[in-house]
Amino acid sequence: ENYFSWAVVRFGIGETLIKFDDQMKATPWLATSWKQGDDKLTWTFTINDKVKFSNGNKLTAEAVKASLERTFAKSKRAKTFFNYTEITANGQELTIKTDKEYYNLPNLLGDPLFLIMDVTAEANGRDIAKEGPIGTGPYVVSSFTKERAELKRNDNYWDGK
């Protein structure tokens, strides 16, 4: 229950590389496209270059890489989805190499666990547990306690108002 409610709140604050349409098909979101390599282990995602985090920082493949690596470092659940051997970033291209074939890797990255946040905010002293994450979604945290989260519009939101 706690995970679900937190995920719902965070989903308005953060977004994932893909989203699901009405038929639960993976569709582009923060990633505009993706392809699986011939080796079936390597996936390349093109990151949407129009996206900014709510603090104004540009979303890059390097930012996505850092966010995914943070998720794997902090959450034991992440490895129940997939395991990677390498994540690399080059401009707006993110490459994930997995330990075995995951034919549905884009779908897995649509789970709220893998929402993309600006980890530089945390590195610069932001307490994610008390202040909420910096994401790319339509809302930002204006105040947060264990009992309540207040949100306001993200003026830097990339996908309309």
pLDDT in tens, 3-51: 544 564 566 888 999 999 999 999 999 999 999 999 999 999 999 999 9
Three-state DSSP class for residue 144? strand
Mean pLDDT of 59-65: 99
Q: What is the pLDDT of residue 78?
A: 94
Which domains does the chain show, CATH number per domain? 2-153 (3.40.190.10)
Q: What is the pLDDT of residue 83?
A: 98
Q: What is the pLDDT of residue 5?
A: 45
The model's pLDDT over 101-160, given as tens digits with 9 standing for 90+, comes to: 999 999 999 998 999 999 999 899 988 877 878 999 999 888 877 777 788 999 999 998
Q: What is the pLDDT of residue 102?
A: 98
Is 114 within 8 Å of 108 (Cβ atoms)? yes
- Distance between CA 140 and CA 41 in Å, rounded? 35
160 Rama class: left (phi>0) / alpha (psi -120 to 50) / beta: left
Q: What DSSP string describes 38-70?
A: TTSSEEEEEEPTT-B-TTSPBP-HHHHHHHHHH
pLDDT at residue 62 greater than cutoff 90: yes
Q: What is the pLDDT of residue 3?
A: 57
Q: What is the pLDDT of residue 10?
A: 65
